[in-house]
Amino acid sequence: MGRASGPPLCFCGAGSRRRAREGSGVIALTRLNGHPLMVNCDLIESLEETPDTVVTLTSGNKLIVRDSMLEVQRKIVEFKRKIYGPLEPGR
């Protein structure tokens, strides 16, 4: 499997680094402190702005990010279209 374009590293857990593989479902977000964060978009349960954007994962973990709710949504849709293709006409 080839390497994904964009940020090559996935920051997971307590400072460990793993290579993000193409099709792994991750999108790049930014924590409030400016540090990049790769999130598996299939594990996002909900998004809310309070006014900061809170990303709730299916595990119950919550992430607070700089990206707006609409930016996160756009990144998810963009990623899904890259994987599954655009919506077919008439659907």
Average pLDDT over residues 69-85: 93
pLDDT classification of 91: cutoffs 50, 70, 90: low
* Full-model pTM: 0.68
pLDDT classification of 84: cutoffs 50, 70, 90: confident
Query: End-to-end alpha-carbon separation of the chain, Å?
Result: 31
What is the Cβ-side half-sphere exposure of residue 57, based on CA atoms within 13 angstroms? 13
Average pLDDT over residues 3-9: 36
Q: What are the φ/ψ torsions at residue 77 (nearest 5 degrees)? A: -65, -45
Q: Convert the pLDDT of each residue in 7-66 to its tens digit.
A: 333 333 333 333 334 446 899 999 999 999 999 999 999 999 999 999 999 999 999 999
Residue 69 is inside which H or E element, if any? helix 69-84
